[in-house]
Amino acid sequence: MATFAAALRMKNQYAKKWMTTKGIFGVGIGYRDPKNHKKGAAVIIYTDSLSAAKSVLSKASAHSTGAKAPVRIVRSQPFRTNALYTRRIRPVPAGYSIGTIDASGTLGLVVADAECQSTKYMLSNNHVLNPHNTGGAIPTLQPGGADGGTLASDRVGTLYRYVRLRKSGQNLLDAAISAPLRNSLISPRYATIGVVPGYITSYKIGERLKKVGRTTGLVYGRVESIHTDVQIEYGENLGVLSFRDQSIIRGSKPISLPGDSGSVWLRRSDSYAAAVNFAGSNDGRISVSFPVERAMRAFKLQVAKPSGQALVKRRPAAPCSCTRPLTTKELARCKPKTVRLKPKR
């Protein structure tokens, strides 16, 4: 029976090479049998081509060195970003449509500056708030443009900070924050769920989660794999981008459809924020997400609450079955770019 540590060593040994194979969209670690955890861990390959998966496994077996673990092949369609999109609401809580004049995604969380709780922001994906990945004082609309939002009537904020997406090399997150025109336009609550008490620093394979997204509404999923390297189709502007150490969350029905980009997964048990959705499979049953802790550290944020101090629930990340915090070097690679805004009147 393989441990998660052995599965992770094997994934790290082969993932980079396997990801260059056409038809393989992700390589991570999870349970060998999701219905029987006693069978231990496995490397998981996400693919729409059984022959491609068998080919890379055959080559790996022929040149095998180092760590070994079982491999589970999961049939999947290609992953792509989520970005279509509904009603106007004031103040705006998490879970509703936001975006730019061209498209819409989801307001994932209302967050606050870690050092100044009165300074509030809207957290979503970079590709939702900054569709061309170039920055500038881009207006944020609610609802987003794809839902009929207009500059004249629906502007609620301006792009403030974002982590630039890399066309070469591997990305760790797709995140940006928008500064509201005034705090009264946004609500530090989460649609249909209420107050989010804080966020967790780590979550584990098998964790049960829930979220509200602009398109799918309230949905539930389970963490299927972590430490998963994926390739995401971003369309003609950016093409296919590589991401490292992401999480695959699976639902029994669509949980990640166009318009759900930016939505934040909460733990089902206590509503602590856990992960940020930014892509998914064509059928919507897979969500590709990253730990929300990465965005909180990169932007120096905390969850905003109507009153009182938001909490950070710290969980040991040593076991390979849990997500891990970014290293200092990785965090430096995620340094946000800041947009110069005009002073508020």
129-179 tens-digit pLDDT: 999 999 899 999 999 999 999 999 999 999 999 999 999 999 999 999 999
98-108 tens-digit pLDDT: 999 999 999 99
Per-residue model confidence (pLDDT) at position 253: 95
Per-residue model confidence (pLDDT) at position 159: 98
CATH architecture of the domain with residue range 80-345: Beta Barrel (2.40)
Residues 6+ apart with CB under 8 A from 57: 71
Distances (CA, A) of 300 to 67, 85, 114, 130: 37, 29, 6, 19
Place of tokens 């802790």: 293
Where in the chain are the domains? 4-76, 80-345
169-219 tens-digit pLDDT: 999 999 999 999 999 999 999 999 999 999 999 999 999 999 999 999 999
Q: If you average pLDDT over every residue of the chain, what do you get?
A: 94
* Distance separating alpha carbons of residues 298 and 61, to the nearest angstrom: 39
Per-residue model confidence (pLDDT) at position 84: 43
CATH fold for domain 4-76? Histidine-containing Protein; Chain: A; (3.30.1340)
Q: Please choose, from the candidates 190, 176, 179, 172, the residue with its C-alpha nearest in 3D space to the C-alpha of residue 272.
A: 190
Per-residue model confidence (pLDDT) at position 309: 85
Per-residue model confidence (pLDDT) at position 340: 86
Strands, E assignment, 19-162: 24-31, 41-47, 71-75, 79-81, 92-94, 97-99, 104-106, 109-113, 120-124, 139-141, 155-162
The structure's pTM equals 0.89
Per-residue model confidence (pLDDT) at position 344: 61
The whole-angstrom distance between residue 321's C-alpha and the CA centroid of its chain comes to 18
291-315 tens-digit pLDDT: 999 999 999 999 999 988 899 999 8
